[in-house]
Chains A and B, each alone.
Chain A
Amino acid sequence: MSFQVPDDCRYLDSHEWARQQNGTVRIGITGFAQDELGDVVFVELPQEGDTVTKDEDFGVIESIKAVSDLYAPVSGTVTETNDDLLDTPELVNDDPFGDGWMIEVELDDESELDELLSPAEYREQIE
């Protein structure tokens, strides 16, 4: 099975993606990760104004069969969370790189993005 690995994202080896857009970075989990988890039923996210730290957990995702921590690909301050996931957590399964996004953060340090896996490197990891 081959999974989507969009070129406009950078990746963490724990299967989170980060996409830079309009001065903030949007974060979610990859298509591979949602497939591994199966039916997502619950996502616990930080609140606006909270800070997240690169490589540390910022939330929890639960599927019917498993529970998993979410790790921050970058450090920064949360500017927005995807409130749609409260009532429709299955968006993470349906559209992991789109409507299933999780949080947006204002970066502390832009260079952190360069430390993440490139699409090619991430693709190699999941194949």
Chain B
Amino acid sequence: MSLRQPPIEHSAKQTDFGGWEMPVEFDSIRAEHSAVRESVGKFDVSHMGELTVSGPDATRLMQRLTTNDVEALDSGEAQYAAITDERGVMLDDTVVYRLPEARDEQFLFIPNAGHDEQMYDRWVTYRDEWGLDAEITNRTEEYAMVAIQGPDAPELLGAETALDLDELDRFELAAGPVAGVDSLVARTGYTGEKGFEVLCPWDEAATVWDALECQPCGLGARDTLRLEKGFLLSGQDFDPEENPRNPYEARIGFAVKLDTEFVGRDALEGVDVEGPAEKLVGIVLRERGVPRHGYPVQTPDGEVIGEVTSGTMSPTLGDPIALAYLPAKYAGSEESVRVVIRDEPKKARTTTPPFLS
């Protein structure tokens, strides 16, 4: 199988991510990371999926396949949501955009890299099963996405668009040209900084990319930036096969609206009442070493209580940080634990993400 290629040719180290050959590092993760925290950086995130949904039953279909309250969205608004199965297990997480009225399609949602075909099939299957009137289109290779993130993002992007970015609150979007290219500009991102994601036609992505002159950033910095903020990575912090988790375990209960009707709702209501047995907890190492996916987490007595889902050396804090599902009593606590790195239990303590507020 050949890797899917993004629309822009990058002179960067590449990696296979979700079936795409994506830039992992342009200069150094540290330099890219601090550009975003201190000024501004750009990411080609065209590997993210884009699906549009329109028609008379579009709202109902979106409502019933995502955990958040789609009916609460006005045109030009977006929300974070999980996509769960009947057991309440997260298949993916996504951002649902209700598009500005001028657009033909009503909804756009962004599954993670490599999940677009699976989600297209899921939407079509349920639409047909429920007899709904909605048109679903997989536009993953029609739309490119360039993320501009960092405190200086409004200024940099503002110089290339006539849109009034000050009018755009977090999780709002508008349609307008960026560097002369018809785009959708959303005040969303995955870094915890001020920033925008620009959706534009695939063939014109390079024009947008080149016009926004700032530090190019790869998936390496994208990972350290999101992890400092405690954001989930689909397929790593949860995965329907490898590590099935529900939104309450993953600490995204805020994106679950039990007063709406959706696949997985009844199972999740039970979890909400009883409380999850395990929760995603932050861990900060007190010794040298880098916690990584799969490393065991133990009590000081050596009892294994979980395993690292994501970990890194935090470039901003200078501390090794990790996420792990641990028994719920560890959530909200500062307990002493151990992360086992190459057979050595390293001292660590639990904390509540985000690591960087």
Interface residues of A (CB under 8 A from B): 38-39, 41-42, 44, 60, 62, 64-65, 67, 86, 93
How many residue pairs bridge A and B at CB < 8 Å? Answer: 35
Contact B342 A64 (CB under 8 A): no
Say yes or no for B313: interface residue by CB 8 A criterion: yes
Kindly identify, within residues 7 to 46 of chain B, every residue whose CB is under 8 Å from any CB belonging to chain A: 24-25, 28-30
Q: How far is the CB of A83 from chain B (nearest CB, A)?
A: 13
Q: Is the CB of A64 within 8 A of B289?
A: no
Contact across chains for B28 and A38 when beta carbons are under 8 A apart? yes
Q: Which B188-235 residues sit within 8 Å CB-CB of chain A?
A: 220, 224
A91 to B: closest C-beta gap in Å: 14
Choose from B24, B220, B224, B290 the contact partner of A67 (Cβ within 8 Å).
Answer: B290
Contact-residue bracket for chain B: 10 to 19
Chain B nearest CB, measured from A59 CB (Å): 11
Pairs A–B under 8 Å by Cβ, sample size 17: A38-B28, A38-B29, A39-B28, A39-B30, A39-B315, A41-B290, A41-B313, A42-B289, A42-B290, A42-B313, A62-B313, A64-B30, A64-B220, A64-B290, A64-B312, A64-B315, A86-B288
Contact present for A67 and B292 (CB under 8 Å) = yes
How far is A42 from B290 in the complex, measured between Cα atoms in Å?
A: 8
A62 touches B289 (CB 8 A): yes
Q: Chain A nearest CB: distance from B320 CB in Å?
A: 8
In Å, the complex CA distance between A38 and B25 comes to 8
Q: Are B29 and A62 in contact (CB-based, < 8 A)?
A: no
Which residues of chain B are near A65, meaning CB under 8 Å?
Answer: 24-25, 29, 220
| Per-position 1/0 for B156-179, Cβ under 8 A of A | 000000000000000000000000
Task: Mark each residue of chain B from 119 to 142: 1 if its CB lies under 8 Å from any CB of chain A, else 0.
Answer: 000000000000000000000000
A60 touches B342 (CB 8 A): yes
Whether B288 pairs with A64 at a CB distance below 8 angstroms is no
B88 → chain A closest CB, angstroms: 33
